[in-house]
């Protein structure tokens, strides 16, 4: 059997799929139930990569470990599960990127800290589940990003060489995980960057301002010689 040498791995929220509109909607639905006014979209978008717990802290000012926090988080996730792809879509330019990978016969997969009970239905509802060659969620690993375990597992599943493969994500932990696994890395500047994030200091091989920009960089990897490029 011929070994696949190169693959592209993507973070899910904030890199492959723009899920912030659904998180914004469900968090404000929960705030409405609590008699609170809606939060601005920009404030919610900046916290999406930090998970549901960060959204509860943002929306209600309560900390993890309290009964109130746990109850609110459970309700938030129930709302999210019921509305997981109402407004979520591929980022602009991501559909052509996936098409190009498949035309080039480069397998692609997702490595995410999003639990599988949300990640799998999201991919299914967006018509991506059968196209995605590997989906690695926290349930499949002992340690999540920035630990490299998930990326290395995905590489084994895809039969690819980590040193020739790429991981793209919108958080410093994504770039750290990629480096720790020996992959080339790309920071998704179009994703959910926190206000104080400094992606130029993350040490990625490439900083992509859009999915189209990321595709252009991936296309250079077909060329005999490539180098680190920062934009």
Any idea which residues carry the catalytic annotation?
11, 13
| Residues 113, 142 contacting (CB under 8 angstroms) | no
CB-hemisphere CA count at 13 Å for 64?
5
The residues pairing with 17 across neighbouring beta strands, listed in sequence order, are 13, 90
In degrees, rounded to 5, the angle at the alpha carbon of residue 204 between the alpha carbons of residues 201 and 205 is 135
Q: How many helices and strands, by DSSP H and E, does the chain display?
A: 9, 8
Within the chain, strands assigned E span 8-10, 17-18, 89-90, 108-111, 134-136, 166-169, 184-188, 206-208
């Amino acid at each position: 059997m011929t070994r696949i040498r190169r693959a592209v791995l993507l973070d899910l929220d904030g890199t492959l799929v723009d899920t912030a509109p659904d998180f914004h909607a469900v968090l404000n639905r929960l705030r409405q139930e609590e008699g609170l006014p809606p939060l601005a979209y920009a404030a919610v978008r900046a916290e999406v990569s930090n998970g549901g717990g960060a959204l509860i802290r943002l929306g209600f000012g309560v900390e993890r470990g309290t009964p109130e926090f746990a109850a609110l988080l459970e309700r938030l996730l129930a709302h999210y599960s019921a509305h997981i792809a109402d407004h979520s879509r591929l980022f602009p330019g991501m559909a052509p990127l996936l098409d190009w990978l498949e035309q080039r016969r480069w397998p692609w997969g997702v490595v995410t800290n999003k639990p599988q009970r949300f990640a799998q239905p999201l991919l299914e509802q967006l018509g991506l589940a059968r196209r995605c060659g590997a989906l690695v969620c926290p349930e499949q690993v002992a340690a999540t990003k920035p630990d490299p375990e998930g990326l290395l597992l995905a590489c084994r599943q895809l039969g690819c060489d980590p040193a020739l493969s790429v991981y793209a994500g919108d958080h410093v932990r994504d770039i750290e995980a990629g480096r720790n696994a020996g992959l080339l890395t790309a920071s998704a500047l179009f994703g959910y960057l926190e206000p104080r994030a400094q992606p130029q200091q993350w040490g990625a091989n490439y900083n992509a301002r859009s999915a189209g920009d990321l595709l252009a960089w991936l296309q250079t990897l077909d060329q005999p010689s490539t180098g680190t490029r920062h934009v």
